[in-house]
Amino acid sequence: MRNQLETCIDAVNQVVLGKEHAVRLAMACLLARGHLLIEDLPGMGKTTLSHALAQVLGLNYQRIQFTSDLLPGDILGTSVFDRETGQFVFHAGPIFTELLLADEINRAMPKSQSALLEAMEEGQVTIEGATRPLPEPFFVIATQNPVSQGGTFNLPESQLDRFLMRLSLGYPNANAERQLLQGGARRQLLNQLQPLIERAVLLAAQQQVSEVRASEALISYVLRLVEATRTHAQLAFGLSPRGSLALLAAAKAWAFLAGRDYVIPEDVQVVLPAVVSHRLREQNGPPGLASAAVVQSLLTDVPAL
Amino acid sequence: MNAAHIRKVAEDIPRISLVWLLVAQVLVIIPHVLHVPLWLLGLWLGCAVWRVQVFRMRVPFPNSWVKAALMLSSGFAVYLSRGSLVGLDAAVALLITAFILKLLEMRTRRDALVLIFLGFFAVVTSYLFADGLLAALYSILPVIALLAALLGLQQSSFAAQPLLTLKLASRLFAQAIPLMVLLFVLFPRLEPLWSLPQAKEQGTVGLSSSMTPGDLADLGQSSALAFRARFDGAIPAQSQLYWRALTLPHFDGRSWSISQRLATQEPQWQAQGEALSYSIIMQPSTQPWLFALDVGSSEQADIRLMSDFRLQRSTPVNRAYQYQATSWPKALRQPQLSQMQQHEFLQLPRAGNPQTRDWAQTLRQQYPDDNALVAGLLQHFNQQPYHYTLKSPLLGKDSVDEFLFSSRRGFCAHYAGAMVFTLRAAGIPSRVVAGYLGGETNQAGQFVQVRQFDAHAWVEYWQLGQGWRSVDPTFQVAPERIERGVQDALKDEVDLFQGDFLSPLRYQHIAWINQLRMSWERLNHSWQTQILGYQRERQQAWLKQWFGQVDWQTIGLFLVLSAALIIALLVLWMFKPWQRQSDPLQRIVNEFQRVLQRRGFTRQTGEGLRSFWQRIRTDLPEEQQPAVIRFIELYEQQQYAQQLPDLVVLRRALAEIKK
């Protein structure tokens, strides 16, 4: 099972060059049943990464390109009057899928953004009084441009909190970029990707990830970290309990990918920046952004043992 | 394995316990060696070897017949060796025998418990024979060994490090010391419900109620301690220290003895001059009489001054005994004597020593005045060739005649006896006084130490109106005896400490040995006064000083509360909750970090062991790497993978690193 997952990761790495760590984190995020937010400048490969993941995991997926005129109904679906039957018929929106790719999510207005909220947290949507369940599994991989870019609406903290991890890819190194320039078109490569894992295996892997052991000592470490965010002088507020659950879940997934059935402090440390930075806010800083320095200070100052 | 077998294994005596039990037995028996028959040592050796062989499964346990035979024969052997099965000596011998034989019967932990508690009891019985500082310090050894055996019983049969158990036992012992001190100070001193029998050996040294001249000479060879005296003021000169023990008015032709009749009368005396105040700690003498300078008195309720001016206690002194006394050296003693009393002090055997009787008559005619006659007699001893020696020849039937006119060699008792005989023959009421003279002054400790060889006898004669007057004929013969002590007077007689080469008294001319000896005596004195002397009265006085009112309920409450406090402090100290080191795994990791730190690798606070390893692995010498990573993996498995912690494996891995 782990071999299949490793194969998936390798395949994605063929397409997204030089981002092995981010790819592995993204895989861990999905194994922990979490939604993934990829944030970076346009053209850094966000969309490529999300599409590649969707392809290799073999899930059926839908893609929504978020724009400023996107309406909630465009995401969830609408009821249309059928003249022949004389009744309203529900036309499911693109959200009814296993993997939803939400491109440039912060370009939509808050109203449309929050249409995703319930779906992401509870795996169901309520439209016109009727609650409809979403398929299992259900992932959202969203991409967004940094807040400084024009034509963006900031995601509120409540929405950011729904994402297990936020990754940013950054510039590739020179070597990877050389390969990129020499290689074929990315779009082409994406289409050539084959599903490498069965749905049942993925579900089983998710189940196993949730069963990875977190010992007393490890949980104490997580609690120390969480406590440190809450008392940190540079942070306006600390992690919520949902945040600490997310941290532990992500650490379990990382441990699983490392081939262990128990979590060690290093697992927590690896996933920590991706899991907590979008949930924290520095004093006088923008919401949803804790600087790398603050996160690093958590890693160095909180006793690991 | 069925249930019965499991139970049997659980009941078996672990190896460590057996080891310490055997060691403890030796340590317990050692102080008894002088008091028990020597064949008991052989018995112990046999039983110990047998028990060890049983443990090694080479031989079976003895069956009931063998045990019964052993028990009966040992009991009979004790009877043969001691002549009785009752009495302290025999009882202790029986106790030790049982202590040894129980070894062969020891199958289960319960039996071992019995043996251990018997051992504790035997440690206590050794105090019956010796209660000195050394004995007390020594008994720490068997107690710790017994504790180790007790601990060993609780350990697994696979535990294999007896020294660890001993360390733990020593720690337990050390932790019990504050409680011991508390109980010593506060626990009520109860009067014993029955009187303790006296060990036989102790009664052999000391004055007895009758005195044959040779007796004191025998005593003169013993350097055993008689008593120590601490003066409240300056210590008087040696020649003033005439310690009276007994007054011996009765002569039967060979020996002088006390008179029961006189003892019942009230003493008559008038205090004059300055008083001396001092406290005395005497060694057990098995006799009721005490030692005091003339005329002594004591406030203590159980001490009485007898009509012949000796101090006497209501019960014999069987344990070291401390009392406070005051003396008036210039007191006027019994200025009036009735006719009957005078007659008593003129008593002589009907016949015997005719030469002396004749000589007394001659003297009487020569000196009509009593005092002049006494002076003349003393002058006679001074001028004639008398010799002061421990080695006087054996005297025949008319011992006084032989001594005065032919042998002329003798110890103080010869001179005192001969003088009183002569005085009585001349019609002057007189008597022999036995006691001690002088003693060794310990400058550091400000006390006088009197040994058996300081035993002395002198003379008292009575004059109407002047009462009893003391004279010492020995002074005329050997003044150095009075002024510098018996050792100086007899330094030519090499046999004073014959066979006692180890006695530090032999080496008084070597300054540092003497110094050492004096310090040791001082320590012993403190032990006796402060520890052994802390009896009922002292305790009550002390408690009164601290608590105002001696109320046993308050004391009991205080005792319980202090004990609880001490235990609480001990618990705090042992578990150190402020250090949060309760997790043994954490302690081992701390040690691991210390080991690596000494080699120059320090783990950062936020670093897990694995990232620590990844950081240092390139710098770590290659031969150390496997041990370190093995430890880290074991630690991770135990700490994070929720395997059952196995500290032993982890410690072993740590030891690998330390190599």
Residue B100: phi and psi, rounded to 5, are -75, -45
Please determine, for residue B203, whether its predicted confidence score (pLDDT) is greater than 50.
no
Residue A173 and residue A44 in one domain: yes
CA B74 to chain centre: 29
Q: What is the mean pLDDT of chain B?
A: 82
For B369-408, what is each residue's pLDDT tens digit? 888 888 888 888 888 888 888 777 777 778 888 888 888 8
Look at residue B289 in the predicted model and tell me its pLDDT.
83
- Half-sphere exposure (CA, 13 Å, Cβ side) for A180? 19
Residue B359 and residue B464 in one domain: yes
Rounded Cα gap, residues B185 and B178, in angstroms: 11
User: Is the CB of A301 inside 8 Å of chain B's CB atoms?
Assistant: yes
CATH assignment at residue A232:
1.10.8.80
B47: annotated active-site residue: no
- Tell me whether residue B163 is in a domain: yes
Instruction: Tell which of B507, B528, B561 closes a domain.
Output: B507
- Tell me whether residue B45 is in a domain: yes
For B24-58, what is each residue's pLDDT tens digit? 999 999 988 888 888 888 999 999 999 888 888 88
- Tell me whether residue B640 is in a domain: yes
Residue B141 and residue B264 in one domain: no
Give the per-residue SS3 of B232-278: CCCCCCHHHCEEEEEEECEECCCCEECCHHHHCCCCCEECCCCCEEE
**Which ipTM score applies to this complex?**
0.83
Residue B305 and residue B345 in one domain: yes
Which one is predicted more confidently, B246 or B119?
Answer: B119
Mean pLDDT of B471-494: 72
Residue B215 and residue B109 in one domain: no
Residue A287 and residue A184 in one domain: no
Of B585, B606, B639, the CB nearest to A301: B606
Q: How is residue B450 written in tokens?
A: 């009197």
Residue B311 and residue B403 in one domain: yes
Residue B479 and residue B602 in one domain: no
Rounded Cα gap, residues B224 and B460, in angstroms: 27
Please determine, for residue B498, whether its predicted confidence score (pLDDT) is greater than 70.
no
- Tell me whether residue B439 is in a domain: yes
- pLDDT level of residue B354 (50, 70, 90 thresholds): confident
Q: Which structural domain, as residue segments, surrounds residue B486?
A: 204-269+278-507
Q: How far is B593 from chain A (nearest CA, A)?
A: 11
Which one is predicted more confidently, A219 or B543?
Answer: A219
Helix axes A265-276, A292-301, angle to 10 degrees: 160
Look at residue B499 in the predicted model and tell me its pLDDT.
47
For A1-36, what is each residue's pLDDT tens digit? 778 888 888 888 888 888 889 999 999 998 998 898
- Tell me whether residue B419 is in a domain: yes
Please determine, for residue A263, whether its predicted confidence score (pLDDT) is greater than 70.
yes
Per the CB < 8 Å rule, is B606 touching A213?
A: no
Cβ atoms B258, B176 nearer than 8 A: no
On chain A, the residues whose CB falls within 8 A of the CB of B642 are 213, 215, 262
Number of domains chain B is built from: 4
Residue at A236: amino acid letter:
A
B308: annotated active-site residue: no
* Strand A77-82 to B292-293 pairing: unpaired
Look at residue B4 in the predicted model and tell me its pLDDT.
54
- Tell me whether residue B516 is in a domain: no
Give the per-residue SS3 of B18-64: HHHHHHHHHHHHHHHCCCCCCHHHHHHHHHHHHHHHHHCCCCCCCCH
Per the CB < 8 Å rule, is B606 touching A269?
A: yes
Instruction: Tell which of B528, B552, B575 closes a domain.
Output: B575
For B252-279, what is each residue's pLDDT tens digit? 888 888 876 655 677 888 888 888 888 8
Radius of gyration of chain A (CA): 20
Residue at A248: amino acid letter:
L
Q: Which structural domain, as residue segments, surrounds residue A35?
A: 1-211
For B281-312, what is each residue's pLDDT tens digit? 888 777 888 888 888 888 888 888 888 888 88
Which one is predicted more confidently, A108 or B395?
Answer: A108
Residue B356 and residue B242 in one domain: yes
Q: Tell me B83's DSSP state.
A: S
Q: How far is A9 from chain B (nearest CA, A)?
A: 24
Of A264, A299, A302, the CB nearest to B640: A264
Of B604, B605, B641, the CB nearest to A262: B641
Instruction: Tell which of A184, A211, A238 closes a domain.
Output: A211
User: Is the CB of A265 inside 8 Å of chain B's CB atoms?
Assistant: yes
**Residues sharing a CB contact under 8 Å with residue B220, sequence separation 6 or more, in sequence order:** B390, B411, B452, B453, B455, B486, B490, B496
In angstroms, what CA-CA distances link A50 with A54, A63, B149, B455? 6, 10, 71, 113
On chain A, the residues whose CB falls within 8 A of the CB of B637 are 262
Residue B154 and residue B217 in one domain: no
Residue A141 and residue A283 in one domain: no
Please determine, for residue A69, whether its predicted confidence score (pLDDT) is greater than 50.
yes
Which one is predicted more confidently, B505 or A41?
Answer: A41
Residue A187 and residue A255 in one domain: no
User: Is the CB of A300 inside 8 Å of chain B's CB atoms?
Assistant: yes
Residue B252 and residue B104 in one domain: no
Cβ atoms B310, B247 nearer than 8 A: yes
Please determine, for residue B5, whether its predicted confidence score (pLDDT) is greater than 70.
no
Q: How far is B138 from chain A (nearest CA, A)?
A: 47
Instruction: Tell which of B492, B507, B522 closes a domain.
Output: B507
Residue A189 and residue A287 in one domain: no
Residues 565-604 of B with CB under 8 A from A: 585-586, 589, 604
Q: How is residue A155 written in tokens?
A: 């995601």
Nearest to B229 by CA among B434, B446, B516: B446
Other C-beta atoms closer than 10 Å to the C-beta of B545 total 9
- pLDDT level of residue A103 (50, 70, 90 thresholds): confident
Please determine, for residue B95, whether its predicted confidence score (pLDDT) is greater than 50.
yes
Instruction: Tell which of A177, A211, A245 closes a domain.
Output: A211
User: Is the CB of A294 inside 8 Å of chain B's CB atoms?
Assistant: no
Cβ atoms A282, A236 nearer than 8 A: yes
On chain B, the residues whose CB falls within 8 A of the CB of A305 are 586, 589, 608-609
Nearest residue in B to A213, CA atom:
B641
Residues 146-185 of B with CB under 8 A from A: none
For B602-631, what is each residue's pLDDT tens digit? 888 888 888 888 888 888 888 888 888 888
Per the CB < 8 Å rule, is B639 touching A217?
A: yes
Residue A150 and residue A253 in one domain: no
Look at residue B1 in the predicted model and tell me its pLDDT.
44
- Among the listed residues B35, B412, B454, B525, the single catalytic one is B412
Per the CB < 8 Å rule, is A264 touching B606?
A: no
Per the CB < 8 Å rule, is A264 touching B604?
A: no
Residue B218 and residue B175 in one domain: no
Of A262, A264, A302, the CB nearest to B642: A262
On chain A, the residues whose CB falls within 8 A of the CB of B640 are 213, 215, 217-218, 262-264
Look at residue B25 in the predicted model and tell me its pLDDT.
92
Rounded Cα gap, residues B323 and A125, in angstroms: 102
Rounded Cα gap, residues B94 and B118, in angstroms: 12
Please determine, for residue B571, whether its predicted confidence score (pLDDT) is greater than 70.
yes
Helix runs in A212-240, H state only: 216-231
- Tell me whether residue B396 is in a domain: yes
Residue B163 and residue B293 in one domain: no
**Residues sharing a CB contact under 8 Å with residue B186, sequence separation 6 or more, in sequence order:** B543, B555, B558, B559, B562
Residues 406-445 of B with CB under 8 A from A: none
Of A269, A298, A301, the CB nearest to B608: A269
Look at residue B119 in the predicted model and tell me its pLDDT.
94
User: Is the CB of A122 inside 8 Å of chain B's CB atoms?
Assistant: no
| C-alpha angle B596-B597-B600 in degrees, rounded to nearest 5 | 95
Rounded Cα gap, residues B169 and B181, in angstroms: 19
Per the CB < 8 Å rule, is A301 touching B605?
A: yes
- Tell me whether residue B93 is in a domain: yes
Rounded Cα gap, residues A91 and A76, in angstroms: 9
Residue at B216: amino acid letter:
L
Please determine, for residue A211, whether its predicted confidence score (pLDDT) is greater than 80.
yes
Q: Give chain A's largest Cα–Cα span.
A: 69
Look at residue B586 in the predicted model and tell me its pLDDT.
81
On chain B, the residues whose CB falls within 8 A of the CB of A273 are none
Which one is predicted more confidently, B424 or A291?
Answer: B424
Please determine, for residue B222, whether its predicted confidence score (pLDDT) is greater than 80.
no
For B516-555, what is each residue's pLDDT tens digit? 888 888 888 888 878 887 877 788 888 888 777 777 788 8
Of B605, B609, B642, the CB nearest to A303: B605
Nearest residue in A to B607, CA atom:
A304
Please determine, for residue B201, whether its predicted confidence score (pLDDT) is greater than 50.
no
Rounded Cα gap, residues B635 and B431, in angstroms: 91
Instruction: Tell which of A153, A179, A211 closes a domain.
Output: A211
Look at residue B328 in the predicted model and tell me its pLDDT.
87
CATH assignment at residue A100:
3.40.50.300
Residue A222 and residue A148 in one domain: no
Radius of gyration of chain B (CA): 35
User: Is the CB of A264 inside 8 Å of chain B's CB atoms?
Assistant: yes
User: Is the CB of B395 inside 8 Å of chain A's CB atoms?
Assistant: no
Q: How far is B604 from chain A (nearest CA, A)?
A: 7
DSSP-assigned beta bridge partners for residue B523:
none
Residue A205 and residue A230 in one domain: no
Q: How far is A73 from chain B (nearest CA, A)?
A: 48
Residue A82 and residue A219 in one domain: no
Please, what's the b/e burial string for B119-145 (b: 16 or more CB within 10 A of its CB; e: otherwise)? beebbebbebbbbebeeeebbebbbbb
- pLDDT level of residue A122 (50, 70, 90 thresholds): confident
Mean pLDDT of B318-339: 83
Nearest residue in B to A296, CA atom:
B606
Number of domains chain A is built from: 2
User: Is the CB of A219 inside 8 Å of chain B's CB atoms?
Assistant: no
Residue B67 and residue B120 in one domain: yes
